[in-house]
Homo-oligomer: A and B are copies of this chain.
Amino acid sequence: MARPREFDNAAVLDAAVQCFWARGYEATSVRDLAASMGIASASLYNAFGDKRALYRQALSRYVEQSFAARVGRIEGKLPPRQAITAFFDEILARSLGDRQQKGCLLVNAALEQSPSDPESRDLVADVLVEMEAFFRRCVIAGQRDGSIDASQPAEDLARLLLGVLLGLRVLARARPERALLEGLLRPALATLDGPQRAEKGGRG
């Protein structure tokens, strides 16, 4: 047939993820990308299309390997209330261990959206819908087994968790302080437990 491709598609895509993650879309040049991916620019265009198409593929791969993988690791393996805690524990650890303060590529992408790239805009919105759905499933299951307060609608609590997640990732980029992030998380998770929260005084 023909000459086979010399590079591993997934591996070079991971390198592209690192580039976009560290510098954002606009500040990353095709030359940066090709060099980091270890391929020539002609190969890049041949394999991935143009820069925007590569960005979308990198974004998709990132989502698969971070959010989707995390959900797969947690959901069903843990009781719902603990699944939520475990989810945020992972986020907290990632945020605090992020020496370069790259944050979350998806959140970065959400805010760097160019008006002329509806495709990646939709991609981001879709993932945010999935995140909300994951939280909602957890909250509904938790309300059913009694581990989560049922006095507020599951929809609202799920949206709170989504907002807190996004806020956490923004805050972590600008002020990666453990006390700050844990302080933000504490009342958010306490809300799930509902009004029976007298744990410190000793009365209950």
Whether the pair A156, B186 counts as a contact (CB closer than 8 A) is yes
In the bound assembly, the distance between CA atoms of A22 and B111 in angstroms comes to: 11
A112–B24 contact, CB under 8 A?
yes
Interface-centre pick from A155, A166, A174 (highest chain B CB count, 10 A):
A174
Asked if A175 meets B129 with Cβ closer than 8 Å, knowing A157-B187, A197-B151, the reply is yes
Residues of B near A4 (CB, < 8 A) are none
B173 touches A155 (CB 8 A): no
| A160 in contact with B174 (CB, 8 Å) | no
Q: Verify B170–A110 contact, CB threshold 8 A.
A: yes
Residues in B with CB closer than 8 Å to A34 are none
Interface residue from B23, B132, B170, B197 paired with A111 (Cβ < 8 Å) = B170
| Listed stretches A40-48, A54-62, A72-80, A188-196; interface member | A188-196
Q: Residue-by-residue, is A1-39 near B (CB-CB < 8 Å gives 1, otherwise 0)?
A: 000000000000000000000111011000000000000
Q: In whole angstroms, how far apart are the Cα atoms of A162 and B129 in the complex?
A: 22
**Chain A, interface residues (CB within 8 Å), range:** 35 or more
Q: Indicate if the CB atoms of B162 and A167 lie closer than 8 Å.
A: yes
Which residue of the partner chain B has the closest CB to A153?
B183
What is the predominant secondary structure among interface residues of chain A facing chain B? helix
Mark each residue of chain A from 147 to 171: 1 if its CB lies under 8 Å from any CB of chain B, else 0.
0000111011101101111111011
- CB of A71 closer than 8 Å to a CB of B: no
* Residue A128 at the chain B interface, CB threshold 8 Å: yes
Separation in Å of the A71 CB from the closest CB of chain B? 19
New A-B pairs, 6, CB < 8 Å, besides A151-B197, A156-B187, A165-B167: A24-B114, A108-B112, A159-B184, A164-B164, A166-B171, A187-B191
Nearest 8 Cβ contacts at the A-B interface: A167-B167, A163-B167, A26-B26, A195-B195, A166-B167, A159-B183, A163-B184, A159-B184
